Each structure stands twice: as structure tokens, then as C-alpha cells.
Chain A
């Protein structure tokens, strides 16, 4: 009995961290003459990875802003989004409908709808009954929910890593330096483009609509908002739905970009996205995107110039250092503790 009977399911996963197989340029050692080109390529890679983190981080920061809890299961919602997209792509491929931008948009839409339902259910089942309960209860419940989601996907879809053939190929050559080519792939353009589009819609939703106003009111003072006739439960539910949809977009893009999905992928990505939310200032929506970009860039440059093995350590260290030295984050507000 080497590991004892409690050896968990997750360990059978050969890819401990899916981002280990990062990008085109990372494995190439920087040559002197193409150092600039190499850095430029890393910048592109980092931004596209950071966009994905930013999308997930928005979900964390929104929920934290409104109900003041860390939605520990949010990383797994991202994973569910990737799986729904995987199934949708497989379904479309088997009926010869895959290919072209319309199909990608359809996949994104399917993933958003079904993942949003998961986000809604998680809030309804695991968090709503715990409003006003003691501080640790929702967090522990969230950890339980995270385990449930992971193992539910493992049971229903199997423990094996699912490979997906590249759906979006090719790219534009931006710069050539010696034999090093800086490429902006169509996939990266898709990531950046759809993230910007989704974030634009999201910003409009938060700043211009009645729902957004209700959400901001709940964030400022939930009790006062409910006294003023805002249905706070509904607003919170919608925040979860929106957060889950954004995570679904992130999951779909991540799946298309890296071509793999497994039930444990949400853990590390989730912690990194949370780091992004904290770095940007938890509760601040632009901060989440900014934090995501920074984390993506730091991680990519760290892997490119230092070591791939310790890239997760880099992300975690940023989390710890931010919380110690800059607890309000880059764009966050000072939090006043009230009795």
C-alpha cells in the first residue's frame, strides 16, 4: 500500500497542470539576435492567456463584491464550460457542421447557456441556504461543491484527458527575425476578440441596465438595496449566471486554444484567476481584467525565461505577496471593517 487507500482520483490525471504545454515560442530558447521577436511573441501569448484568466476573474470578483464570499467552485464552473463546449464541438463535428465562425459562436452560446445553469444551481443549492450563517460555512460548502462538480464530471465523462483536434488554425506573420517568426494566430485573435466583445456586453450590462444598477446597489449595501425594493436574491442569482457564462466563454476558448479538457483542469486555473482578481483588487471589475492580463503575462514570461516547473509557484507567490503587501489590490477600494 504505497499511497494508502485514500489515493484520490485526481492523481490519475497525467497532466497535472494543463498549461504545462504552453505555447509555440516557450520551448525555444531565446537566441541573441531574435530576443526582441521572442519577447514580442511572449507578449502575444501572455495577453491571450491573460484574457482567459480575466474572464474567470470577473466571476470571482463579482460574487465577492456582492455577497462577500470566495466562490471556490468557480474554477470548476470553468471546467464544466470547457466540457460542454467539447461535447458541442464533438456533436457538431459528427454532423459535419463544424467549421467556420458561425459554428464557433454556436459552441460558445451552447456552452454559456448550459454552464450558466450550473452556476445558477450551485448558488441555489449550496450558497443561498447559508446566507447569514457563520463566516466559514459558505466557503466550506463551496469546497464541497467544487469536489462534487469535479467528480460529477469525472463520473459522467470519464477520468481520461480529452484531446481535441485544433479547430482554428493558421495565423498572421507579424515579424520575422532570422528564423524566428512572430505569429499572431487566428486562435489568439479569436481569444482576444471574443473576450473584448463579451466584456463590452458585460460592461454595458453593469453600467447601463437596471440589472447592473441593482447589482451595484447590492454590492454597496445589500440590506439597503432590499429595503429599496431590489430583489436581492434574484440579483445574486443573476450575478452567478453572468459569472458562469463568462467562465464558460473562458472554458471554451481555453479548450480551443490548448486542445485538452479534463475534470481537474479547473483547480489550478481557478486559483490563478482568483489571484488575478485579488491582484486587480477584489470587487473591482476592471481590476479583474487587468489582474488577469498581468497574471497571464507574468506566467508566460516566467515560463519563457525562468522555469516552466515553477510557474505555478510564481502565480501563487504573487497571490501571497499581493495579499500581504497590497491587500486592496491595484484598483480595489480600502475595506473598512465594521462591528
Chain B
């Protein structure tokens, strides 16, 4: 194609936008234009919304035209790579600053109960994201049933506390170990499967665990869940409002306050998340971590080099599951109530989206993605219906624009000599 003149380009763009509008009209004319409502008698009624269809089509036309005329010419081919290095560099400075804010957050004036609760929620997702990152980002195994291990952790703690009266601090490691055990158990049969099969099988396992939790009423309470899960203690000192000598407030001579427990929970999840991060960063430099990265890039080459694929995959699965188990135990003790409803596929998808949007393999990217996404969910609570729509669209757009995520890091953790660009044609995974 020779370089078209300006008029030719405008014409082509207009034609293209008109075609896009036509497609949009086809998509929206039925699904948006005609709305079915259930009347009080149970019959279906139709309501027309042609105005909305027209607006949507116009929006598609304008966006498509803008894409063709303004955005695309200004997007240099190397732009995304440049953006990537820029983001990675910013991440280096941003990380410590973020950590500092996280550490002092409960004592910043103006931070109340609500903000701390939100902080706890965000940190839970940060931790889950970092845990899943070991499996997806480092080892390249797409796990769509990650929430199952989260559920195993939560139910482990809840059941152990309920039936055996074990305390949180004994159950926390147990929950992690049990979840890791389940990770190995589920991982073992599916190791031979290719990436996308693995994804579907993990999804199926996740659903099986949820359905079993839902239907095994005598053990798990079924859809009613388990309530009255014991709250955590400060190494044996309960957070009680009585202020007696055996309580947290009494022991340290403080005024009893309900915020003590929230602050404690906040630091607990912060500590757990940082532990996940620390283990992930450290283990990347170990032989096993390097094996994960090699596995992610090219499984056949990996096998040819004598890496034990089974062990490598299983450790990734087990380690990722273990952190989900920790997070699950924390979730159970924080909510004091769990039910299978908290462990649906969409939770797995949200955690995966955090990992993917933040950047596969990037610790700081995941933290930022969790803050943006969970914070965004909270911010746009009123637009309840639209936020999942935007969230799904974001997943697609990020994948199309930057398949490695916003701050994707694919560089090997350990290098021989200087840092070099690895040509995409050399690895099985292709570009991106």
C-alpha cells in the first residue's frame, strides 16, 4: 500500500467507522433496543430504547474514527516498550513509597474504620495476587481455580476452630499446609496437561470444591456457611472491650477500643502479604525459581535441559496454594463468617485479572493493580452493574494492548553477564 493522501486517509477512516457503526447497530439493536421486563403477572413485556441504541452507535463511530485518525498515527511502534521500561523504572521508586504509606496508614490522621477495612481488603487481594503470581506469572501455569485454595484455607481454619477449638495462630500454618497439600493433590494429575487444558481443569476443580462445600451440609453448614469463627488474639491476648488484665488493652495499659482489633488485623494481613512478597522475590533467585521462569518461557526446552518438570510445577502449585491458604484463614478470622458464596469463579477471575493487569511476574504492578481495582470497585459502588463490565473490558483491552500486563516483567531474575534483549523468536512463547 502506498502512502495515501490526507483526504484518502480521512475517507478510509470514515468508511471504516461507518462499518463499525453498522456492526454496533447489529449488536445493540436487539440486546439494548428491546428490553424484556417481567411484569407482575409473570408475563414478559417489551420496552424499546432506540435512543440508547443511537447513542451507542454514535459513540462507536466517533471512537473508531478517533482511533484511526488521531490515536493510531501517534502510537509509535516502539511506544509500548518505552512505556513499559518507564513504568518499570517508576515502579522501583514507587514501591518503597507505597510500602511506607502502607506501614503508617493506621496512624495517618483522618484514616478511620472504613478506610482501614478497605485497606485490609485491598491487602488481602494484594496477597492473593502475589500468591497467584507465583503460579501464573513465574511458572506460567494458568490457574483458574485459585479461589479453591483460598476456600480450603478459610474452611480449614473455621472447621479446626469449631471442632477442635484450635486458636488462630495454630490454624494459620495448618491452613497453609492443608491448602498446599490440596495444591499438590490437585496439581499432580493435571501436570501433563497443556496450558489451556490446565486452566479448564483447575476451573473444574475450583467448582467441584465449591459445590462440595455447598452440599456437604453436615460438615460445612452448606449455603448457610459457618458463623461464629473465633477472632484472632494478640498472641493469646484477646481484643475485648472489658479491658481486664488478660486482654490486649489491659495488658498494655491502653484504653479499650474496637479499633485495636482492626489495626491488628491490618498489620496481620500486611505482614502476611509482605511475607508472600519476600518469599516470591527470594525464591525467584533460587534454582527452583529460575526453573519456573524457564518453564514459563519454553516447556520443551526446559525438559531438554534436564529440569524436572513435575517437581517444578508441583512446587509452584503448592507454594501458590499455601499463600492462598494463609489468606483464606485470615479471611475467615476477619469476617467471622464464611460461606461458599465467597469462593465463586468470579473471585478467581478477579485475582487473575489483578495479576494480569498488573503485569505477569511484576510484584509492584500487582500491588498497584489491586489498589486500583479493589479501590475502584469501592469507589464506583453505586455503578454496581457497570463496574464488572468495565473490568472485563479492561482485561481484554490490556491483553490486546500489552499482553504482558501494564508492568509486565519477563526479564530473567538471574543473568549470566549483562542484560540483553531476548529475541522473541528464540522462545516458545513468542512476542509480548
Contact = CB atoms under 8 A, between A and B. Distances in A.
Contacts of A152: 31, 389
A156 B31 contact: yes
A272 to B, nearest CB: 10
Interface in A146-196: 146-160, 162-165
Interface residues of A, number: 83
Interface in B373-432: 374, 377-378, 381, 384-386, 388-389, 391-396, 399-400, 403-404, 428-432
Interface string B173-188: 0000000000000000
Given A130-B400, A134-B429, A323-B193, A155 B386 contact: yes
A86 interface: yes
A1 interface: yes
Contacts of B212: 313
B63 interface: no
Contacts of B208: 313, 316-317
A278 to B, nearest CB: 8
A93 B45 CA distance: 10
Contacts of A94: 46
Nearest to A145: B396
Interface residues of B, number: 82
Interface string B101-137: 0000000000000000100010000000000000010
A29 interface: no
A77 to B, nearest CB: 12
Contacts of A144: 353, 392-396, 399
A205 interface: no
Contacts of B360: 136
B300 A117 contact: no
Given A91-B46, A135-B429, A137-B403, A84 B345 contact: no
Contacts of B136: 136
A100 to B, nearest CB: 19
Interface stretch (A7-15, A38-46, A232-240): A7-15
Interface in B169-215: 189-190, 192-193, 195-197, 199-201, 203-205, 207-208, 211-212, 214-215
A316 B208 CA distance: 7
Given A11-B344, A139-B142, A316 B207 contact: yes
Contact of A140 (B193, B203, B301, B399): B399
Given A158-B37, A337-B300, A147 B395 contact: yes
A319 interface: yes
Interface stretch (B22-30, B69-77, B80-88, B283-291): B22-30
B44 interface: yes
A139 B195 contact: yes
Contacts of B9: none
A69 B142 CA distance: 13
Interface stretch (B235-243, B264-272, B311-319, B335-343): B335-343
A136 to B, nearest CB: 5
Given A118-B27, A148-B389, A337-B300, A320 B201 contact: yes
Interface stretch (A121-129, A206-214, A290-298): A121-129
A143 interface: yes
Contacts of A316: 204-205, 207-208
A267 B385 contact: no
B49 to A, nearest CB: 9
A91 B214 CA distance: 39
B347 interface: yes
B85 to A, nearest CB: 19
Contacts of B310: none
Contact of A320 (B205, B353, B356, B377): B205
Contacts of B203: 271
B140 interface: yes
B13 interface: no
Nearest to A155: B385
B84 to A, nearest CB: 14
Contacts of A139: 142, 195-196, 199
Given A133-B431, A320-B204, A151 B392 contact: yes
A130 B193 contact: no
A132 B430 contact: yes
Nearest to B202: A320
B352 interface: yes
B5 interface: no
A148 to B, nearest CB: 4
Contacts of A339: 300-301, 428
Given A137-B432, A141-B400, A310-B215, A319 B30 contact: no
Contacts of A317: 204, 208
B190 A324 contact: yes
Contacts of A146: 392
A130 B389 contact: no
A80 interface: yes
Nearest to B120: A4
B35 A158 contact: yes
A228 to B, nearest CB: 23
B396 A160 contact: no
Contacts of B384: 9
B346 interface: yes
B142 A136 contact: yes
Interface string B328-365: 00000001010101101111011011001000100000
A113 to B, nearest CB: 8
The residue among B189, B195, B391, B400 with the most chain A CB atoms within 10 A of its own CB is: B400
A212 to B, nearest CB: 25
8 contacts: A5-B378, A6-B347, A87-B36, A136-B140, A147-B346, A162-B44, A309-B214, A319-B200
8 closest pairs, A vs B, by CB? A144-B395, A147-B392, A148-B392, A316-B204, A151-B389, A141-B399, A137-B403, A144-B396
Given A136-B195, A144-B353, A144-B399, 13 more contacts: A9-B384, A86-B36, A88-B30, A94-B46, A125-B396, A126-B396, A132-B431, A144-B396, A147-B391, A152-B31, A155-B386, A317-B208, A339-B428
Interface of B: 23, 26-27, 30-32, 34-38, 42-46, 117, 121, 136, 140, 142, 144, 189-190, 192-193, 195-197, 199-201, 203-205, 207-208, 211-212, 214-215, 300-301, 335, 337, 339, 341-342, 344-347, 349-350, 352-353, 356, 360, 374, 377-378, 381, 384-386, 388-389, 391-396, 399-400, 403-404, 428-432
Interface of A: 1-11, 69-70, 80, 83-84, 86-88, 90-91, 93-94, 110, 114, 117-118, 120-121, 125-126, 129-130, 132-141, 143-160, 162-165, 267, 271, 274-275, 278, 309-310, 312-313, 316-317, 319-320, 323-324, 327, 337, 339
